[in-house]
C-alpha cells in the first residue's frame, strides 16, 4: 500500500486515505466484501474523494460494479502504472510500447465505457446501433493493436541490427537494472558524466540510454540505463517493453542497483531477481551495487571513500560481487568500475604475441 501511495503521488494524485481488507479470496462482483464496500463508500463521502485506486488488477465486471457503487472514477494498479508510463515516455519507441499496453488493457473493458449498452442482451430486438458502435470500437482498437505490434517489431529488428553492429566492435555492454527509484539514473550520470533526467519519483526513466565509459584499465564499455522494475508489473507492460528489455539479454554484465536504505530493500531486490529469471537472464554475470550509503554515513561519522571502506569491510568477501556506493555523492565509483573490469576479465586467457611493424595495420 505504501508503494501504491507513491505511484499515486507520482501520477499527481493527492492521497487522503487508505483502506485495506484481508480476505481469503477476491469477490467476483466487487473484489472486496459487502461490508468493506459500505465502509469505503462512507469514507469516500466523508473525505470528498473523486477517485478510488485499487492495488489489485480489476476485472471488467468488478470495475463496472465499483463505478456504480462508488459513483466516482475507479482505477486499478495497472491503469495507474499505464498512466505514469504514458506521462514518462519521451521517445517514439517508448510511446509505441505504452500505447500498445494501453490498448491491450482497454480492449476487454470496452463494454464498461458504454454503460447504456448493457441493457442490450441477446435475443430478438436487441441488435441495435449501440451494439454496432461497441463492435466498431472493438475492431478499431484491434486494428490499432495489430498496427502497433508491427511498428514495434520494426523497432525490435532495428535494435537487433544495432546490437549486431555493436557486438562486431567488441565493446562489452553493462546494463543497469534495479527497482524503480533505486538510483539507477543517478549512478548512470555519475559513471558516464551525463545528464539523464533524475527525479525522486517512480519510473523516471522509461527509454534506454547508452553511453561509453572508460574503466581503470583503459578498457571501454557501453553503459545502458533501462526501465525500473516494480512489484506486480503488469504483464501487458512486460510484453510491450520486450523490445527494450531485449537490451538486457545482450549485456555482458547486469549491474543491479539496490536502495540499501529502503525498508523493503531485500524484497525489492528479490522482485528484480524474479523478473530477470522470468526473462531468462538469471545466469547473467551480475554485480550488486548497494546504493545510498551516504544516507547511512552519519551513523558511523564517516564520509567519502572511508564510508565505502567501512561498509565494504562489514559486508565481507563472502557475499560475492557486492559493493557499497553512493551514486549521489559519487562514492565508490572507482572501486565499482574496477570490479566491472575484474568481472569482464574473468575467464579470459593471457597470450603473448609478436606483431611485426609491417603488419601493424592488420
Q: Hey, do 2-88 and 171-345 end up sharing a CATH topology, with the first three levels equal?
A: yes
Which pLDDT value is given to residue 152? Answer: 80
Domain map of the chain by residue range? Answer: 2-88, 171-345
Q: List the one residue out of 59, 2, 67 whose CA is nearest residue 31.
A: 59
User: How confident is the model at residue 121, as a pLDDT?
Assistant: 45
* Mean of per-residue pLDDT scores for the chain: 82
CATH of domain 171-345: 3.40.50.300
Q: Residue 178 in contact with residue 270, Cβ under 8 Å?
A: no
Contacts of 352 (CB under 8 A, 6+ apart): none
Tens-digit pLDDT profile for residues 173-191: 999 999 988 889 899 999 9
Instruction: Report if pTM > 0.85.
Output: no
d(CA 221, CA 170): 9
Residue 213: φ, ψ to 5°? -135, 135
- Dihedral of CA atoms 187, 11, 111, 131 in degrees, nearest 10, equals -100
Let me know: does 181 contact 205? Beta carbons within 8 Å: no
| pLDDT at 37 (0 to 100) | 92
Any idea which fold 2-88 has?
Rossmann fold (3.40.50)
* Low-confidence spans in the chain with pLDDT less than 50: 116-127, 318
Amino acid at each position: 500500500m505504501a508503494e501504491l501511495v507513491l505511484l499515486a503521488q507520482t501520477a499527481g494524485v493527492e492521497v487522503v486515505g487508505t483502506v485495506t481488507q484481508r480476505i481469503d479470496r477476491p469477490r467476483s462482483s466487487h473484489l472486496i466484501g459487502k461490508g468493506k464496500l459500505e465502509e469505503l463508500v462512507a469514507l469516500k463521502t466523508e473525505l470528498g474523494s473523486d477517485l478510488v485506486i485499487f492495488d489489485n488488477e480489476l476485472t471488467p465486471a468488478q470495475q463496472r460494479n465499483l463505478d456504480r457503487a462508488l459513483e466516482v472514477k475507479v482505477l486499478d494498479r495497472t491503469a495507474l502504472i499505464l498512466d505514469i508510463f504514458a506521462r514518462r515516455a519521451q521517445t517514439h519507441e517508448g510511446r509505441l510500447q505504452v500505447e500498445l499496453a494501453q490498448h491491450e488493457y482497454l480492449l476487454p473493458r470496452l463494454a464498461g465505457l458504454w454503460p447504456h449498452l448493457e441493457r442490450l442482451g441477446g435475443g430478438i430486438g436487441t441488435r441495435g446501433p449501440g451494439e454496432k458502435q461497441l463492435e466498431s470500437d472493438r475492431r478499431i482498437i484491434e486494428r490499432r493493436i495489430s498496427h502497433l505490434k508491427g511498428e514495434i517489431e520494426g523497432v525490435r529488428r532495428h535494435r537487433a541490427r544495432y546490437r549486431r553492429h555493436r557486438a562486431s566492435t567488441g565493446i562489452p555492454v553493462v546494463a543497469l537494472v534495479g527497482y524503480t527509484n533505486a538510483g539507477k539514473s543517478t549512478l548512470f550520470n555519475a559513471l558516464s558524466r551525463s545528464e539523464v533526467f533524475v527525479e525522486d519519483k517512480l519510473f523516471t526513466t522509461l527509454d534506454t540510454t547508452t553511453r561509453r565509459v572508460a574503466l581503470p584499465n583503459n578498457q571501454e564499455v557501453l553503459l545502458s540505463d533501462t526501465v525500473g522494475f516494480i512489484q506486480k508489473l503488469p504483464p501487458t507492460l512486460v510484453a510491450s517493453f520486450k523490445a527494450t528489455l531485449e537490451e538486457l539479454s545482450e549485456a555482458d554484465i547486469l549491474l543491479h542497483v539496490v536502495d540499501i536504505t529502503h525498508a523493503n530493500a531485500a524484497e525489492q531486490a528479490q522482485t528484480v531477481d524474479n523478473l530477470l529469471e522470468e526473462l531468462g537472464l538469471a545466469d547473467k554475470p551480475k554485480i550488486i551495487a548497494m546504493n545510498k550509503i551516504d544516507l547511512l554515513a552519519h551513523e558511523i561519522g564517516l564520509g567519502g571513500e572511508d564510508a565505502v571502506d567501512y561498509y565494504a569491510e562489514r559486508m565481507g568477501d563472502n557475499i560475492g560481487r557486492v559493493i557499497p556506493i553512493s551514486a549521489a555523492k559519487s562514492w565508490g565509483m572507482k572501486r565499482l568500475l574496477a570490479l566491472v573490469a575484474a568481472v569482464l576479465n574473468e575467464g579470459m586467457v593471457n597470450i603473448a604475441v609478436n606483431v611485426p611493424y609491417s603488419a601493424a595495420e592488420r
